[in-house]
């Protein structure tokens, strides 16, 4: 039997804390009985819930923490109050000490990223971490990054994101050489941001061995699955992600209203119910819950704060897949090849040319 | 009877040129018999089509132009080859000479904006023009700008966009004091781009009389209709717009697939057909066809290049509404109040503070 996968959980993160985290862990554990959990949280709240989920209790070690990071805490405040001793910090720290292979938290994104950076540090040769989202497309799924770790990115950082996202696509989708596109406005080479154009030129001039660079993509190409990995800086990436979520919600609302409007449409709904269920499942944001922090010395998964047990389990599933498919090793491997390729130097030199 | 509204049309713009423009003009003319068209295009192609639409022919004057701007022309190339004499240029020029109250073109966006700027010039006290899109929301419609005229915007330019978009909302939605939000990531004041935060602070400190500033909005707030006007720079705005279009298309595809999958779902579709028709109508991109160029000395409407007659008619309807509701006068009025308010000076001063 393969060895177990140790996953650390910040039980206090999210709108519902352990009321969602522990049942979520149960759901994931049924699917992956080889997970072992390291659970961090306040014993007064967590232990009674653990008693109701003996399977999770059996498969985990619990660690009491006095401090919980508030959902509205500013990153600096979270670091000041929660460093060393909060459930969030200690879940991340377990990755640093290699007790856990990956950490999962539904806590606030800014605090989680600040603590992850502080605790795990950025990888050598990577300037900034990114948050990668899994985006459902008409072809299956794509990876989009950065969806909000940092605002702005220069050409070198965009190429870093391409490598990180490419490694994640290899780990998650089992594609040997994923296609990567740079998010831009207009597909002609002449258009768009200077740094996006520079990154595109460099990736064409010095091809990366781990991926296929496919050129620029536009906002409407993401959902069509035009490429496996969409690279952008965090401001535009976050706006794209939230806009897509908002649009899906809006259309879901139209659909519900249309179906309950007349007797005929209600009858239609009755007959087509299984089709609607399938559609709802396709559009279910819980099924693709989990932002992956890439570029740090260790993997941290951010779950939506407002999700339920099913959604939280999806974030744990993602964490599990990332470890089983050796994401960290793939990134390390790709980075070595990348620096041999000399594209980093080329990027640096060309910045001087601008 | 009210006086007629003169609208100039670039008959050669778009993927289908006059084959869509002239029938589109017919559709709009039936709805608004008080339109008079100034049609610019190649006589060999346009005149035979005009003969098939006697109503349009009757209500228009035709002007032959030797040159048509290609759909893939770069802006500089279009200016070089098409200035003074192309159908696109002459449609815009008719606005400058006040023969037309507004121009409509389905030609390529970059060329149309370059020519519009060159011909009409930017308004006094406005640094850059913007493209405003009408965005269908769960509440009705909102205006989003800039969706791609320029990349990047400083605080002053964002405030300019707020004023331009606010005036358009007053003209289009008959709201006395539209609500305006700044597109950002995260809603806390501490987050987001420096220039977005500065613009937000200035609009709070020196309220504009023509609008209500509602703070930051995120990508998913746009479709919910959280504010009447969403202000952003052109890169993020274009990506948001395209991403929403792509997501709507993607979900439409899921829905069609789900409904044709089984006999039961086909029966359901039959009963719910009118509900689906209503939904399709809600999601119909043709109904909100038309990007409005704001901030120039005259209004230019950009229609989607690939639209059909119905979609082109929607762009003409929009042009008509903009004139009937005195958009230009409203912008001019708001700008006077704005400069009296002194927010421009405040913005300038605060830039020095950063």
> Cβ contact (<8 Å) for B250 and A151?
no
> Cβ contact (<8 Å) for A272 and B274?
no
What's the confidence (pLDDT) of residue B353? 41
pLDDT tens for chain B, 354 residues long, are 468 999 999 999 999 999 999 999 999 999 999 999 999 999 999 999 999 999 999 999 999 999 999 988 888 889 999 888 999 999 999 999 999 999 999 999 999 999 999 999 999 888 899 999 999 998 899 999 999 898 889 999 999 999 999 999 999 998 999 999 999 997 554 567 889 999 999 999 988 889 999 999 999 999 999 999 999 999 999 999 999 999 988 888 888 888 787 887 788 777 777 777 877 777 776 777 789 999 999 999 999 999 999 999 999 999 999 999 999 888 888 887 776 555 555 555 554 443
Q: Given a cut of 50, is residue A354 above it in pLDDT?
A: no
> Cβ contact (<8 Å) for A247 and B242?
no
Q: How far is B62 from chain A (nearest CA, A)?
A: 33
Q: Which of A240, A251, A282 sits opposite B243 (nearest CB)?
A: A240
The whole-number average pLDDT for the span A225-236 is 96
Q: Given a cut of 80, is residue A72 above it in pLDDT?
A: yes
> Cβ contact (<8 Å) for B250 and A224?
yes
3-state secondary structure of B65: coil
> Cβ contact (<8 Å) for A258 and B279?
yes
pLDDT per position as a tens digit, A150-173: 888 999 999 999 999 999 999 999
Which one of A272, A273, A278 makes the best mutation probe of the B interface by having the most chain B beta carbons within 10 Å? Answer: A272
The whole-number average pLDDT for the span A39-59 is 97
Q: How far is B262 from chain A (nearest CA, A)?
A: 8
Q: How far is B37 from chain A (nearest CA, A)?
A: 31
Q: Given a cut of 70, is residue A1 above it in pLDDT?
A: no
Quote the CA–CA distance of A201 and A236 in Å, as a whole number: 20
Radius of gyration of chain B (CA): 21
3-state secondary structure of B181: strand
Which one of B272, B276, B279, B285 makes the best mutation probe of the A interface by having the most chain A beta carbons within 10 Å? Answer: B272
What's the confidence (pLDDT) of residue B189? 43
pLDDT-derived band at A33, boundaries 50, 70, 90? very high
Q: Given a cut of 60, is residue A180 above it in pLDDT?
A: yes
The whole-number average pLDDT for the span A197-217 is 92
Q: A291 is written with which tokens?
A: 């932002």
Chain A CB contacts of B138 under 8 Å are: 250, 253-254
What's the confidence (pLDDT) of residue B280? 75
Q: How far is B129 from chain A (nearest CA, A)?
A: 17
> Cβ contact (<8 Å) for A239 and B242?
no
> Cβ contact (<8 Å) for B251 and A283?
yes
DSSP letter assigned to residue B3: P
Locus of tokens 């809603």: B187
Chain A CB contacts of B268 under 8 Å are: 267-273, 275
What's the confidence (pLDDT) of residue A2? 63
Quote the CA–CA distance of A353 and A347 in Å, as a whole number: 10
Average pLDDT over all residues of chain A: 89
Q: How far is A200 from chain B (nearest CA, A)?
A: 17
Q: Which of A74, A220, A264 sits opposite B246 (nearest CB)?
A: A220
What's the confidence (pLDDT) of residue A242? 92
Number of other CB atoms surrounding residue A262 within 10 Å: 15
Quote the CA–CA distance of A200 and A185 in Å, as a whole number: 13
Q: Which of A242, A271, A282 sits opposite B271 (nearest CB)?
A: A271
What's the confidence (pLDDT) of residue A22? 98
DSSP letter assigned to residue B71: T
Residues 6+ apart with CB under 8 A from B257: none
Quote the CA–CA distance of B45 and B104 in Å, as a whole number: 19
Q: What domains appear along chain B, each with residue ranges and CATH number? A: 5-125+289-332 (3.40.718.10), 130-285 (3.40.718.10)
Quote the CA–CA distance of A280 and A249 in Å, as a whole number: 11
Quote the CA–CA distance of B354 and B347 in Å, as a whole number: 11
Q: How far is B107 from chain A (nearest CA, A)?
A: 15
> Which of A26-40, A203-217, A332-346, B95-109 comes out lowest in average pLDDT?
A332-346
Q: Given a cut of 50, is residue A336 above it in pLDDT?
A: yes
Radius of gyration of chain A (CA): 21
Contact A78, A97 (CB under 8 A): no
Q: Which of A244, A267, A274 sits opposite B243 (nearest CB)?
A: A244
Q: Which of A185, A242, A264 sits opposite B272 (nearest CB)?
A: A264
pLDDT per position as a tens digit, A88-121: 999 999 999 999 999 999 999 989 999 999 999 9
Which one of A242, A263, A276 makes the best mutation probe of the B interface by having the most chain B beta carbons within 10 Å? Answer: A242
Chain B CB contacts of A246 under 8 Å are: 219-224, 244
Chain A CB contacts of B235 under 8 Å are: 185, 192-193, 236
Chain B CB contacts of A181 under 8 Å are: none
Alpha helices per DSSP H over A125-233: 155-173, 194-205, 219-223
**Host H or E run for residue A16:** none
B182 to chain A: closest CA residue: A239
Chain A CB contacts of B188 under 8 Å are: 74
Chain B CB contacts of A223 under 8 Å are: 243, 246-247, 249-250
Contact A183, A189 (CB under 8 A): no
3-state secondary structure of A320: helix
Backbone angles phi, psi at A28, to 5 degrees: -65, -35
pLDDT-derived band at A339, boundaries 50, 70, 90? low
**Host H or E run for residue B104:** strand B102-105
What's the confidence (pLDDT) of residue B290? 83
Counting one residue from chain A and one from chain B, the pairs whose CB atoms sit within 8 A come to 201
What's the confidence (pLDDT) of residue A282? 73
| DSSP string for residues in B287-314 | GG--EEEESBSSEEEEPPTT--HHHHHH
Burial B55-84 (b: 16+ CB within 10 A, else e): ebbebbebbebebbbbbebbbeebbeebbe
Chain B CB contacts of A265 under 8 Å are: 271-272, 274-275
Which one of A114, A192, A219, A253 makes the best mutation probe of the B interface by having the most chain B beta carbons within 10 Å? Answer: A219
What's the confidence (pLDDT) of residue B333? 85
> Cβ contact (<8 Å) for B258 and A251?
no
Closest by CA position to B8, among listed B121, B118, B107, B87: B87
Backbone angles phi, psi at A207, to 5 degrees: -60, 145
Q: Is A137 left (phi over 0), alpha (psi -120 to 50) or beta?
A: beta
Q: Which of A138, A232, A248 sits opposite B253 (nearest CB)?
A: A138
**Which segments within chain A are labelled E, that is strand?**
5-10, 35-41, 60-64, 102-105, 130-136, 141-145, 179-183, 212-217, 229-231, 291-294, 299-302
Q: Which residues pair with B145 in a beta bridge?
A: B132, B231
> Cβ contact (<8 Å) for A244 and B248?
no
Contact A102, A327 (CB under 8 A): no
């Amino acid at each position: 039997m393969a060895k177990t996968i140790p996953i650390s959980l910040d039980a206090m993160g999210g709108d519902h804390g352990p009321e969602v985290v522990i049942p979520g862990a149960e759901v994931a554990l049924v699917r992956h009985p080889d997970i072992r959990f390291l659970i961090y949280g306040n014993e007064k709240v967590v232990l009674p819930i653990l008693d109701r989920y003996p399977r999770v209790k059996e498969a985990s070690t619990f660690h009491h923490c006095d401090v919980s990071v508030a959902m509205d805490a500013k990153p600096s405040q979270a670091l000041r109050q929660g460093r060393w001793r909060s459930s969030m910090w200690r879940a991340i720290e377990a990755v640093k000490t290699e007790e856990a292979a990956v950490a999962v938290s539904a806590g606030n994104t800014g605090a989680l990223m600040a603590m992850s950076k502080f605790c795990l540090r950025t990888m050598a040769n990577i300037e900034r971490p990114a948050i990668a989202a899994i985006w459902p497309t008409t072809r299956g799924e794509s990876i989009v990054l950065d969806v909000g770790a940092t605002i702005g990115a220069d050409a070198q950082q965009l190429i870093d994101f391409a490598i990180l996202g490419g490694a994640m696509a290899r780990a998650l989708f089992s594609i040997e050489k994923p296609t990567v596109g740079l998010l831009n406005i207009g597909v002609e080479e002449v258009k768009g941001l200077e740094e996006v154009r520079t990154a595109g030129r460099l990736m064409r001039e010095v091809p990366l061995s781990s991926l296929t660079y496919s050129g620029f993509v536009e906002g409407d190409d993401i959902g069509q699955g035009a490429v496996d990995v969409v690279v952008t800086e965090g401001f535009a990436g976050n706006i794209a992600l939230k806009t897509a979520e908002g649009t899906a919600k809006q259309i879901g609302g139209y659909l519900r209203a249309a179906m309950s409007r007349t007797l005929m449409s209600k009858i239609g709904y009755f007959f087509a119910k299984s089709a609607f269920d399938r559609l709802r499942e396709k559009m279910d944001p819980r099924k693709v819950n989990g932002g992956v922090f890439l570029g740090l010395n260790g993997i941290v998964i951010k779950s939506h704060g407002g999700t339920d047990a099913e959604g939280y389990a999806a974030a744990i599933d993602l964490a599990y897949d990332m470890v089983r498919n050796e994401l960290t090793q793939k990134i390390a491997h790709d980075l070595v090849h990348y620096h041999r390729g000399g594209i980093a130097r080329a990027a640096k030199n060309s910045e001087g040319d601008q």
